[in-house]
A and B are shown apart, each in its own frame.
Chain A
C-alpha cells in the first residue's frame, strides 16, 4: 500500500466537504461578531434530521432539506439566545453541543428504538454525480468526478460566499457589522437582522455538512458521529482567517490530513501525531497571521459576566 495514491486524494476530497461547509458557516457567524462554538452540535443536528427525513419520506432530496431544516432550528435557538438575550456566544455554543448530542441520542431511542446507531438498508444515500466531460480527463477526471452533489455544493458555497462578502453591497454591510457593531447601527444598518441571517445561514451550511456525513458514504446515523469535526471546522475557520478562500485552503489541508491519518493506521506511525497536525499547524500559523482575531468583536477578554 502506497502512502500517497489516488484513493487518498479522492477520500480527502470527500472528507473536506463537511469540514468546509461547517467552517464557512462558522466564518459567517464570526464575520458578524459571533464566535460559534456550536458548529459540532449543528452538524450533528443536520446529520440526524437528514436520516429522519430519509426514513419518513424515502426521498434523498427531502432528507437533505430536512437535514438543513433541523440544523437551522437549532441555530435559531442559538441565535435567539446570543443575539436577543445577549448570552455569551461561547457558553451558548457549548450548551448547544451538549443539547444536540443528548437530543439526537434520545430521539434515536424514541423514534427508532435503537441505541448507538440507526441503519436501514432500504434507505437511499446521496447519489454520485459523474460530470459528463470532466470524468474522461485522464488524471483529474477521477478526482473531480463521481462525488455526491453536496461535495460540489461545498466548493461552490466557498466561491459564492467569497463573491457575496467581497463583491456585493449586502456582503460589505455584513462585514461592517462584524467590524464595528455600534458604528453599523448608527449608519442605519439592520444589525440584528443581519446577525440572524448569518446565524441561520450557518445553520443551513452545517445542516448540509451533517447530511453529507450521514448520507454521503454509508447511509446511517451513529451517536456523536461528528466526532469533533465541528471543532476541526472551527479550527479551519481560524486558520483561514474567516476568509472563504482561506477556509477552502485550510479545509483541504485538514481533509487531506484526515484521510492521511486513516491511511497511516496501516503503517506503524502513531496516528495521534497526524491527528494533532491540524491543531499544531493552526497554533503555529497564529504566530504569523496578522489578524489574530483581534480585529473583530471577538477581541477583548471575554468576561463571563
Chain B
C-alpha cells in the first residue's frame, strides 16, 4: 500500500514536468518541420551537439556552471519565500569585483583566487542584502527592487570596465578589464576542454545547500518561513534575520557564478559576457523547474545548458536557427509553471460529481 502511494505521488510530481517537456519537444518539432527540415535528424544533431562526444559533454557542463550557481542561489531564496529577481545584478557585481580583486591584490595565485572568491561573494551578497534591507525596513517589495537593482548593477559594472578599469593594452577599445595573471586562473578539469574547476564548486555548493536545507535547524527555519510566514513568526523564527541571511547567501552564490566565469573561463570581466547568454534567467528557470530543490536545480541547469549547446550544434550543422532553444525553453517553463496538473482535472471531476452530473 505504502509503495503504491509513493509511486502515485512520484508520478504526480513527475507528470507535470514530463508533460511540459513533451509539449516543449512537440513545439520544437513543429517549428523544425515549419522550416522544412527533418524533425528526427534535427533532434539527433541537437543531441549530438549537447552529449555527442566527450568534448561536447564538457562544453555543456561548462555552460551549465554559472546556471547551476545561479539556480542554487535562487533556490535558497525561493525556499525562504523570497522572490529574488536580482540574480543578474548580483552575478555581474560579483564578477567585476572578483576580476578587480584578482587583478589588484598582490600575492601568489592562491591568494588572488581566494580573495577574488571572497570579493565575488561579498559583492553579490551585499547587493542582495540591500534589497532585503529595503524590504524589511521600508516595505519596498523585494521582487521589484531586485529587478530594478539589476540594471543599476549591470550599468555600473559596464561603466567600471569602460572607463576607469578598461583594458588599454589591446588595439580595440573593448569594454573589459585587463587579462588576469595566469596564476589566478581556475584550473581546467581536462586539458583542451572548456570545463573548469568552477563546475566542481557549483556541484559542491548544491550538495551543501541541499544538506543545510534538509537537515539543519537553520534550513528548517528557512523552509518554514517559505511555507507559512505566519506560522514561522508564531513559532519564534526571526523573520528579518532569516530574510537577511537567505538573501545574503542567495546573492553571494550568484556572485560566485560570476566569479567562476571570470576566473575559470574568460580570465577577465568582459561587458555582456554574462548578461547576453541570459545565465540569470536560465538559472531562475532551473530553480523553478526543480521546485527549488538544490540537487534537482543542478540537474535542471545541466539540462537547460544542454538544450542551448545542443541548439548551437544544430545551427552549425543544419538550417535550423539557434533560437529554437529559447522557443522550447519558453514553452517548457510556461507549461511547468501552469498548475494544470491532474489536480485541475480531478477538481473538475469532483465539482461535476458534487453537482450530481458527471
Interface contact A91-B321, CB-CB below 8 Å: no
At the interface, yes or no: A106 with Cβ under 8 Å from chain B? Answer: yes
Chain A, 272-293, CB within 8 A of any chain B CB: 272-273, 275-276, 279-280, 282-283, 286-287, 292-293
B337:A272 contact, CB within 8 angstroms: no
Compute how far the CA of A105 lies from the CA of B320 in the bound complex, rounded to whole angstroms: 11
Output the nearest chain B residue to A235 by Cβ-Cβ distance. B148
Q: Is A193 an interface residue (CB 8 A)?
A: no
B interface list, Cβ under 8 A from A? 31, 34-35, 78, 81-83, 85, 134, 138-145, 147-149, 151-152, 155-156, 158-159, 162-163, 226, 229, 278, 281, 284-285, 287-288, 291-292, 321, 323-331, 333-335, 337-340, 344
Q: Are A81 and B226 in contact (CB under 8 A)?
A: no
Complex Cα distance, B324 from A110, in Å, reads 11
Residue in B140, B162, B292, B330 whose beta carbon sits within 8 Å of that of A95 in the complex: B330
Contact partners of A77 in chain B: CB under 8 A: 334
Cross-chain contact of B321 among A100, A105, A293, A302 (Cβ < 8 A): A105
- Give the residue of B81, B151, B344 whose beta carbon is less than 8 angstroms from that of A301: B81
Residue pair A304, B292 in contact (C-beta under 8 Å):
yes
Do the beta carbons of A298 and B151 come within 8 Å of each other? no
B98 to chain A, nearest CB (A): 20
Segment with Cβ contacts to B, from A7-15, A82-90, A124-132: A82-90
B152 contacts A280, C-beta separation under 8 Å: yes
- B335: chain A residues within 8 A (beta carbon): 81
Distance in angstroms between the alpha carbons of A70 and B333 in the assembled complex = 21
Q: A94-B281, A94-B284, A95-B334 are in contact. Are A86 and B339 (CB under 8 A)?
A: yes
B163 touches A270 (CB 8 A): yes
* Residue pair A106, B338 in contact (C-beta under 8 Å): no
Output the least CB separation between B247 and chain A (Å).
12
Q: Using Cβ atoms and an 8 Å threshold, which residues of chain A touch B138?
A: 286-287, 292
From A98, A234, A275, A301, B229 is in contact (CB under 8 Å) with A301
Known: A91-B333, A106-B327. A276 touches B344 (CB 8 A): no
A136 at the interface (CB under 8 A from B): no
8 contacts between A and B (CB under 8 A): A92-B334, A95-B334, A99-B331, A102-B327, A105-B321, A109-B323, A272-B162, A287-B140
Q: Which residue of A234, A293, A301 is within 8 Å of B82 (Cβ)?
A: A301
Is B326 a contact partner of A293 (Cβ separation < 8 A)?
no
Instruction: Check if A96 is an interface residue, CB within 8 A of chain B.
Output: yes
Give the docked Cα–Cα distance between A232 and B321 (Å): 29
* Cα A101 to Cα B288 with chains together (Å): 20
Contact A95–B226 (Cβ < 8 Å): no
Asked if A90 meets B143 with Cβ closer than 8 Å, knowing A95-B337, A98-B330, A102-B327, the reply is yes
**What does DSSP make chain A's interface, helix, strand, loop or mixed?**
helix
Contact with B along A163-196 (1 / 0, CB 8 A): 0000000000000000000000000000000000
Picked from A101, A115, A238, the residue with its CB within 8 Å of the CB of B326 is A101
- Complex Cα distance A270/B165, Å? 14
Question: Interface residue count for A (Cβ, 8 Å)?
Answer: 52
**Contact between B141 and A87, CB atoms less than 8 A apart:** no
Point out the residue from A96, A98, A109, A286 that lies within 8 Å of B144, measured CB to CB. A286
Chain B residues contacting A103 (CB-CB under 8 Å) are 323, 327, 330
Contact B291 A305 (CB under 8 A): yes
Q: Quick check: B163 and A98 within 8 Å, CB to CB? A: no
When chains A and B are docked, how far (Å) is the Cα of A276 from the Cα of B82? 25
9 further A-B pairs in the complex, CB-CB below 8 A; given A98-B330, A102-B325, A304-B78:
A81-B337, A85-B340, A91-B333, A102-B328, A106-B324, A270-B159, A287-B140, A292-B141, A298-B141
With A94-B333, A273-B159, A287-B138 as given contacts, are A99 and B83 in contact (CB-CB < 8 Å)? no
CB distance from B150 to the nearest CB of A (A): 8
Q: How far is B284's CA from A202's CA once the two chains are assembled, in angstroms?
A: 25
In whole angstroms, how far apart are the Cα atoms of A282 and B82 in the complex?
A: 21
| Nearest CB on B from A166, distance (A) | 24
Give me the 7 closest cross-chain CB pairs, A-B, nearest first.
A99-B330, A102-B326, A85-B338, A98-B330, A272-B159, A102-B327, A87-B337
